[in-house]
Amino acid sequence: MEGPTRGVARNRRRTRQLGQSLAEFAIVVPIFLIVVFGVVDFSLGLKAWLTITNASREGARVLVLGQTCTQVTNQTKTVAASLNPPVTVTITPGSCAGVTGDAMSVTVTYRYTSVTPLGHFAQLLTGPITMSSTSTMRHE
């Protein structure tokens, strides 16, 4: 048979273990959340960079085929439609007219904003992140 002190001692051990688990949880959770938020922000930033790179390449391809500036801008913005706020498109030369062999460029600029609290805090310290991609091709 158990004495009254044995049950009390067992409850104290359980209480201490619960307190220890709570302390470990309080230490681990913030670190885990920082890592998760960092991975999310990095992944979304990488997606944005890949999107503007692809958009500038598509815009340059449309440009060297002899399309108008409006068509080039529309195609570039269509490819980058998933980004918010919208991208800025710069075409060189500004007239969009060229002869065979001319180098023609499309530059896509995007201002990346974070979606996690960690990223918002980092942007308060460093300012906004501006991404830019330029693609140059020869006029056909």
Q: Which of 8-17, 20-29, 48-57, 60-69 has the highest mean pLDDT?
A: 48-57
Give whichever of 3-12, 75-84, 87-96 has the largest mean pLDDT.
Answer: 75-84
> CA-CA distance, 52 to 49, in Å (whole number)?
5
Which region, left, alpha or beta, applies to residue 102 given φ > 0 means left and ψ of -120 to 50 means alpha? beta
Asked whether 135 and 105 are in contact (CB, 8 A), the reply is yes
Q: How many structural domains compose the chain?
A: 1
Instruction: Give the whole-angstrom CA distance, residue 36 versus residue 116.
Output: 10
Q: What is the pLDDT of residues 84-135, one digit of tens each?
A: 889 999 998 888 877 788 899 999 999 999 889 888 888 888 888 999 999 9
* Mean per-residue pLDDT over the chain, rounded: 87
Question: Among 114, 106, 92, 105, which residue's Cα sits nearest to residue 48?
Answer: 114
- pLDDT computed for residue 137 by the predictor: 94
Mean pLDDT of 65-85: 93
* pLDDT of 73 higher than 90: yes
pLDDT value for 27 = 93
Quick one: CA dihedral 20, 22, 27, 33, positive or negative? Answer: positive
Phi-psi region of 106 (alpha: psi -120 to 50; beta: other; left: phi over 0): beta
Distance CA 109, CA 63 (A): 17
Domain interval for residue 72 = 4-138
